[in-house]
Amino acid sequence: MHKCSDMIHTEIEVKYMNSKKVNKALNQLLKGTHMGTSLFKFLQKKLKTKRLRKLWKEMINTLSDHEKILTKLIETYGGEPVDTAGIMGTMTDVLYKMRYIFLSDEKDILELSITSMEQGRKALSAFVLRKKFPNKDIDKIVRTMKKDYEEILYELKRFQLEAQYV
């Protein structure tokens, strides 16, 4: 048994409280992943270059895989995974779409995408620093996501650099 604020909790209660914290944190991460996927799907429709469309498809597939993995992980911990970016995320998504509805230049799309992925990477890094999980599977998944974000950013920046010389 554990003593917490003059209350005594059984091992099961402690595990339940921990799983609630884990699910809350993972759902927060899932919301951000939903936002990123939604933005890239929106921008994908504006692309003209075949290579860039291919890159976008790969990025969306990677982010969709992250959504599926996080969803399954939350369910494994007995939680209810969010299926949207939440109210604030949805509002942000709508504002992005309104703001960038007429965006058509691929250089501008790349710049926006790089900025968005850097924000995602920053949020993931902050998530890692704030949350220390007792489960190695969660740590492994978060490390994989971080690696995928780095690869996406690398590809976006590489494409941006190549586009400067065309």
Q: What is the pLDDT of residue 7?
A: 43
Cβ atoms of 59 and 37 within 8 Å: the answer is no
Q: How many domains does the chain have?
A: 1
Please report whether residue 156 resides in a domain: yes
Domain CATH code at residue 73: 1.20.1260.10
Please report whether residue 144 resides in a domain: yes
Residue listed under structure tokens 């969803």: 71
Q: How far is CA 62 from the centre of its chain?
A: 10
Q: 79: domain range?
A: 24-164
SS3 state of residue 9: strand
Those residues with Cβ within 8 angstroms of residue 48's Cβ, 6 or more apart along the chain or in another chain: 106
Please report whether residue 2 resides in a domain: no
Q: Write the DSSP symbol of residue 6.
A: T
CA distances from 69 to 16, 29, 60, 118, 141 (A): 21, 11, 14, 21, 8
- Tokens, residue 78: 């007995």
Q: What is the pLDDT of residue 163?
A: 78
Please report whether residue 124 resides in a domain: yes
Q: What is the pLDDT of residue 11?
A: 44
One pLDDT digit (tens) per residue for the chain, 166 residues: 444 444 443 444 434 446 788 888 888 899 889 989 988 999 999 999 999 999 999 999 999 999 999 999 889 888 888 876 556 656 666 666 656 666 778 999 999 999 999 999 998 888 877 766 657 788 888 889 999 999 999 999 999 998 776 5
- Rounded to two decimals, what is the model's pTM? 0.79
